Structure 1
């Protein structure tokens, strides 16, 4: 702790039942502790009288966890600390996990890193609303930053204080813990998870999270962050990448993903062809891009091959779909390439067309994907043989 200039920061509000146990367990590891009494009205003040060896801040009234953390960060910086590990005082965290944060910080190449404890949200004593709230938060953090995390709500964290000081942090309550990680990520701080244990002992744990108002505040914050991400952060990052790499390198690495494996590229080809041939007219571009992102495939390749349904090819695709549909359903339509309109005969037998269309899409996707995979593997082998 001393070598890394790190302290433990404990914000507390009306957790007199668990505070002493939390502090005693932390003291077994370090005395570098700051406690922020956030206007507690229970026996917190009396408990803290027995801990003269730790730094204490008493706020006259409760203004929220976010405000208490900001006050604690400022105090830590004033005392010369560079990092602060925050731990809740309700007993849900295990102080013996503190070394996990320190070891991860030491091993990290970048010291501009913010670590968040990743809880096992599948364990039996985790409340359903906590598990749902975490998944909800994880999704929006990914959407706003492009970074996937297992846990974005855990209060057991390591903060790089000098980097956090640069941020304009405005929220005072529980939503602060979302605001700080999103803004830190936008500002270039590496945000990562580390595994930690968790306890949800309902007999002793007191949570001050108010489901409706606090969830509403978090939702409003995420709505604002989505707007900022779409209209400022993502375009800013896009142009920064182009400027840093140069247009040609950016195109090869970030758009075409030149280094993707043959399997991934072949699956992207298959996805594009499947969507292009399927009867999703008008929605093919949106659908193929959504599925490429969801399935973690090559978006550029999938989009390119979805254009198999460009206007000159449409009559052939429709004709092939109808013929295959008739074969599969046993229905007979008076349809030929000489009279593709049929006086709307196809519309009268839409089921036949749809079944044939999906069947043709599956066959074409498998064929194009297989050819693409074989071709790409052969190309890779030639490249290896040529050194």
Structure 2
């Protein structure tokens, strides 16, 4: 099947890491949409210069204020849909993901165009233990809220979405706007019946040392998201149990 893929990168003050990331992305030949999520004036200037200099493959969408990772990615998805793309490859701006795995994402998407292709992190020695432990807790709750082992990792910011399924989801539901977005959307797409394929991928920790994860605030928001999803799961329990038994 022919698919039309673009890259969507939510950006919030990652101007130091971004040029190196873009240099690794460009050889893959995919159009790329940067979403400036209310970054600093200095970061905004870098983004505008990059988009002007590389307009053959790079475009910039500017949000007027910081709305969180989820809000930026959703705006990117809406723009990708408006431009006629069938799939969006989401990747974080901090350079932690291995762009050499992009051909593997694309190959799976061609074989399974209706599935979401999810990065399943392989961590190195530089991974903070607190992050790795937090992932285990999150993935435990995802298994509960989906009644499934289909989703290997719910927080990896390197994944490929079928946009038709995303469009159906966004037409009827709101997804988390902040750091809990990756968890929220993947569970809701699973509820919607979208298959998940997991692709092992190496993760390194940020080149520019900028992390916008705030331990107390974001863990509280993630916990609240798990709680909302738990009650949503209870409403869908007969369907989820039927799928599991089948």
TM norm. shorter chain > 0.5:
yes
Q: Are 2:50 and 1:46 aligned?
A: no
Q: Look up the match of 1:102.
A: 106
Instruction: Specify which structure has the bigger relative contact order, considering alpha-carbon pairs within 8 angstroms and separated by 6 or more residues.
Output: 2
Q: Which residue of 2 aligns with 1:147?
A: 148
CA distance in 1, matches of 2:106, 2:30: 15
- CA distance in structure 2 between the aligned counterparts of 1:254 and 1:133, rounded to whole angstroms: 29
1:236: which partner in 2? 239
Specify whether residues 29 and 189 from structure 1 end up closer, same or farther in structure 2 by C-alpha distance, changes over 3 A only.
Answer: same
User: What's the secondary structure of 1:51's corresponding residue?
Assistant: helix
- For residues 73-117 of structure 1, what are the alpha-carbon distances to aligned partners after superposition, in whole Å with 9 as ceiling and x for unaligned? 000000000100011111101222111111111233xx2211111
| Corresponding residue number in structure 1 for 2:139 | 138
Q: Write the distance in 1 (CA, Å) between the matches of 2:106 and 2:89.
A: 9
Residue matched to 1:34: 33
Distance 1:158 1:205 in 2: 25
Deviations 1:239-283 (A, max 9, x none): x66xxxxxxxxxxx949xxxxxxxxxxxxxxxxxxxxxxxxxxxx
Q: What is the TM-score when the length of structure 1 is the normalising length?
A: 0.58
User: Quick check: which has more Rg, 1 or 2?
Assistant: 1
Report 1:166-205 matches (<5 A).
Answer: 166-167=168-169, 168-201=173-206, 204-205=208-209
Q: TM-score, normalised by structure 2?
A: 0.90
Shift of 1:233: 1.0
Q: Name the stretch that deviates more: 43-52 or 27-36.
A: 43-52
> Which sections of structure 2, spanning at least 5 residues, go unmatched?
none
Tell me by how many angstroms 1:207 deviates. 0.9
**CA deviation after TM superposition for structure 1 residue 177, in Å:** 1.0
Residue of structure 2 in register with 1:113 after alignment: 115
Return the alpha-carbon distance in structure 2 between the equivalents of residues 150 and 254 of structure 1: 20
Contact kept, 8 Å, 1:19 with 1:44, in 2: the verdict is no
Q: Note the residue ranges of structure 1 that are not aligned, 5 or more in a row.
A: 242-252, 256-387
Contact 1:8-1:32 at 8 Å conserved across structures? yes
SS state at 2:46 partner: helix
8 Å Cα contact 2:14-2:208 kept in structure 1: no
Contact 2:175 / 2:185 at 8 angstroms: preserved in 1?
Answer: no
SS in 2 for 1:173: coil
Give the CA deviation at 1:42: 5.1
Aligned-pair CA distance for 1:31: 4.3
More helix by share: 1
Is 1:206 aligned to residue 210 of structure 2? yes
Q: Which of the pair is proportionally richer in strand? A: 2
Whether the aligned pair in 2 keeps the contact of 1:36 and 1:58 (CA below 8 Å) is yes
Is the aligned partner of 1:227 residue 2:231? yes
Aligned partners of 1:154, 1:124: CA distance in 2, in Å?
17
Instruction: Give the deviation of 1:157 after TM superposition.
Output: 0.6
Mapping of residues 1-387 of structure 1, within 5 Å? 3-41=2-40, 43-48=42-47, 49-52=49-52, 53=55, 54-108=58-112, 111-121=113-123, 123-148=124-149, 149-167=151-169, 168-201=173-206, 204-230=208-234, 232-238=235-241, 254=245
In structure 2, the partner of 1:369 is none
What's the secondary structure of 1:81's corresponding residue?
Answer: coil
SS in 1 for 2:168: coil
Q: In angstroms, what is the RMSD of aligned CA positions?
A: 2.0
Deviation of 1:229 (Å)? 1.2
CA contact (8 A) 1:169 1:180 kept: no
